[in-house]
Structure 1
């Protein structure tokens, strides 16, 4: 469970530094793994890329700051790491659907991406009804293809393999 608390500590580091530069190396150090593995692990577990999570959290906080109405828009943009008002406006509009200026109006609906935390959920603790049925003999047919390439290459090649099978109508030939 220590790895889970380390992931949550890394997320806490992100939250504390949304208005500063966030070091991926520091995040990995907190989680006690390499930067490469931290980025992959975070994306896999959180189901959102690390950079996208940070961007969403920054734009959520920027929206809160805009609605508070105390700072200039350019100051808020700089605070959350945007070098130009145009880049901030574009990113803000992509997340919230409106401009930063419009976000200052009372009663405007904005999106918020909350602070995530990692927890373990245990599943399978409930009963499951089942029965065993005896069936007549039947054929199982398969197609074998060997790939000795990287995972990224397989992501490109395997869909092409399935397309080839469908075009050859091999799947229809054996369907029930």
Structure 2
């Protein structure tokens, strides 16, 4: 549990120093972990590097500031650690999918990258009685679409619901329903 506590302290430190020039080595030093071990542990637990986390948080906050204030985009770029407006525009566009000037115009959808909070849930470890039953062969009919697994549980993601709405709107379920064997008996 000490690792989890150290990583949460590291995240808190990054959040408190986002407007300063920091990187994962500075964060590792702050929580008294070797930079190599910190980099490995942070990447393993969060799925991103600490430097990418810092960059994503800065770009998320910069997007909000561009939309909510009249501060010049160049000043926002400098505030969030970019040496030139061009480097900021390139990173901003890659992250948000639109340029800062388009975001400033309004009605733009920006990417929100919230601060990480580490929560550990351990489940299982209990005995369960079960029985294996051999069943006869079955046939399945399906409508298939791929979804990004990392965002399916995101409350803002409506991809699965939109897929079902599309299936209903295009009446794709009726022909499949009619293919069921028990419909003909």
Relative to the length of structure 2, the TM-score reads: 0.65
| CA–CA separation in structure 2 for the residues paired with 1:53 and 1:129 | 43
Does the 8 A contact of 1:3 with 1:31 survive in 2? no
Residue in structure 1 matched with residue 119 of structure 2 by the alignment: 119
Residue in structure 2 matched with residue 52 of structure 1 by the alignment: 52
Provide runs of 4+ in structure 1 moved above 4 Å: 125-129
Deviation at 1:126, TM superposition (A): 6.6
- Does residue 100 of structure 1 match 2:100? yes
Residue in structure 2 matched with residue 150 of structure 1 by the alignment: none
Residue in structure 1 matched with residue 85 of structure 2 by the alignment: 85
| CA–CA separation in structure 1 for the residues paired with 2:7 and 2:38 | 9
| CA–CA separation in structure 2 for the residues paired with 1:26 and 1:54 | 12
Residue in structure 2 matched with residue 28 of structure 1 by the alignment: 28
Q: Which runs of 5+ in 2 are unaligned?
A: 134-185
Pairwise CA RMSD = 2.0
Deviation at 1:132, TM superposition (A): 6.5
| CA–CA separation in structure 2 for the residues paired with 1:74 and 1:127 | 60
| CA–CA separation in structure 1 for the residues paired with 2:30 and 2:119 | 17
Residue in structure 2 matched with residue 73 of structure 1 by the alignment: 73
